[in-house]
Amino acid sequence: MLLRKELGARDLTLFAIASIVGVRWIATAAHAGPGSILLWVLATLLFLIPLSITVATLTARDPAAGGMYLWSRRDFGQWHGFLCFWIYWMGTVVWFPSAAIFYASALTHSRAAMLAVSLGIIWLALGTNMLGMKVGKWTENLGATATWILGLGLMLVASAAWRRHGSATEFHLLPELNWDTVNFWASIAYALTGFEVVGMMGGEIKNPARDLPRAAWIASAFTTLFYAGSTAALLVLLPPAKISDLNGLSQAGDAAGGLLGLPWLPTAIAALVLCSAVGQFGGLGSAVARMPFAAGADHLLPEIVARLHPRWGTPWAGMLIFGVLASALLLLIQLGDTAQAAYQTIVSLMVISGFLPFLYIFASAWKCGKYLSAVCGTGVSVLAIICSVVPTADIHNVWLFEGKLAAGTMAVVGSAWVVYSRRRPG
């Protein structure tokens, strides 16, 4: 049974927006100060656009399910293809809990309630996509639309607050040079990843060569406008020191509601944030399931992950396993520190495991003759990995923080070798 080609140009554009844009990064950027607006533009030029060009080129070359697994396997051999897939897949498993904690914080500040809401978001998003892209793509479309509305709404509300009360922040162009800014560069670069998952859906795209470049440019333009504009909006409403990485959007909603006499505004923002979360979780969760599906077809994973559901036509087993691992990590990461420190630890681990596969992607871009994209993307990826190990002020136990990062990274790479060595041919 073959995967069904359900994705046209409009669906690809919305799928890309839902997968790239994470509204939680707005609060992180605003906390870093107005200089982060320039960093958004630089990261777009040096990373997002090179990544989009690379993915469109490689997907047109290999239009099948699997994305970076197929690209790395073809260009560097089966072990490297498996390692690239495994690290990215596990990195996304790590991403899910960190994002879920943030999105749940839009509704509640209770740690127990955040865990419950986080689990609900994860399984709602994965469940709809198990039913097939004909159903699941509407989850991603809803998430992208909610993101559009949220970004535009924040900018309109901030504009009204500025006219009435002025700005809470004095704007300047250049970012401050400190350790928090260094760590933030890793997060801002990671916030612009996501287009690579569109390539994993190659087997379900109607016309990759025609539709992917168009979707790439539209999604890149929207992403830059959304991040820069929404960051500026939060800074109009609140000074950077009062914006929490974890609760920044709810703080901005409360501030704007009070300034403008709109008591319903925080609830509306929370609803849009949750819709955006479900779309992003659905896009990433469904896309990364295509990589174990492709690896299973090469007999590197148990046969069940290479089977499509007889009714839904989806690689349901990969999504189910993914959801179980993400849920378990969501519970385990809470041990040993505060919620804020747990959030920062998982973000840094996510960035490390998330960027290692990009070294393979941009190496494949070099082999395809996309030299400028390869150089820019590789440089940003290496810098992001280095920056991610720098602890922020929220980390009180540096040794625990660094120990978790080291142990987590070694566990991901080591587990890849264990699984591959037991199932490799010969």
Confidence check: pLDDT of 132 > 80: no
CA distance 326 to 322: 6
At residue 340 the predicted structure's pLDDT band, cuts being 50, 70 and 90, is low
Q: Are 103 and 121 in contact (CB under 8 A)?
A: yes
Q: Are 357 and 71 in contact (CB under 8 A)?
A: no
Instruction: Give phi and psi for 65, each to the nearest 5.
Output: -70, 135
- Rounded to an integer, what is the distance from CA 336 to the centroid of its chain? 25
Q: What is the CB-side half-sphere exposure of residue 395 using CA atoms within 13 A? A: 24
The residue segments making up the domain with residue 281 are 9-328
Structure tokens at 278: 């479900």
Q: Domain for residue 405, yes or no?
A: no
Residue 392, in any domain of the structure: no
In whole angstroms, what is the distance from residue 118 CA to residue 113 CA? Answer: 8
| Pairwise CA distance, residues 220 & 424, whole Å | 38
340 assigned to some structural domain: no
Average pLDDT over residues 284-294: 77
Of 111-125, 217-231, 261-275, 342-356, highest mean pLDDT: 217-231
Looking at the structure of the chain, the number of domains it has is: 1
Give the whole-angstrom CA distance, residue 157 versus residue 161: 6
Is residue 37 in some structural domain? yes
Report angle CA 222, 225, 226 to the nearest 5 degrees: 80
| Alpha-carbon span 27 to 106, nearest angstrom | 12
Residue 420 domain flag? no
Quick one: pLDDT at residue 291? 80
Q: What's the rounded Cα separation, in Å, for the pair 141 and 323?
A: 21
Highest mean pLDDT among 75-79, 122-126, 315-319 belongs to 75-79
- Quick one: tokens of 39? 């960093």
Least-confidence region, from 34-48, 130-144, 148-162, 201-215: 130-144
Task: Calculate the CA 170 to chain-centre distance.
Answer: 30
Residue 334 lies inside a defined structural domain of this protein: no
Give the C-alpha separation, 290 to 316, whole Å.
Answer: 10
Which residue has better confidence, 394 or 410?
A: 410
Residue 330 neighbours by CB under 8 Å, 6+ apart: 96, 97, 100, 101, 115, 118, 119, 122
SS3 65: strand
User: Does some domain include residue 419?
Assistant: no
- Residue 236: is its pLDDT beyond 60? yes
Q: What is the pLDDT of residue 259?
A: 82
- Band the pLDDT of 405: cuts 50, 70, 90: confident
Q: How far apart are CA 243 and CA 30, in angstroms?
A: 7
Distance CA 148, CA 229 (A): 12
Is 413 a member of any domain? no
Average pLDDT, the chain: 81
Q: Is the pLDDT of residue 261 over 80?
A: yes
Banded pLDDT at 364 (limits 50, 70, 90): very high
23 has a pLDDT exceeding 80: yes
How high is the pLDDT of residue 228?
93
Report d(CA 106, CA 100) in Å as an integer. 10
In the three-class reduction of DSSP (H, G, I as helix; E, B as strand; rest coil), residue 152 is classed as helix
Instruction: Categorize the per-residue pLDDT at 2 as very low, low, confident or very high, splitting at 50, 70 and 90.
Output: low
Dist CA 152 CA 176 (whole Å):
27
Give me the mean pLDDT over the 224-242 stretch: 92
Helices (H), 33-176: 36-43, 49-61, 68-76, 78-105, 111-130, 133-165
Q: Which pLDDT score is estimated for 181?
A: 63
Report the range out of 30-44, 63-77, 362-376 with the highest average pLDDT.
362-376
Q: Which two tokens stand for residue 231?
A: 């960051």
So what's the pLDDT on residue 227? 94
Burial-class residue 413 by CB neighbours within 10 Å (0-12, 13-18, 19+): middle
Say whether pLDDT at 89 is over 80: yes
59/134: higher pLDDT? 59
Residue 223 or 274, more confident = 223
Residue 1, pLDDT above cutoff 50: no
The CATH number assigned to the domain holding 81 equals 1.20.1740.10
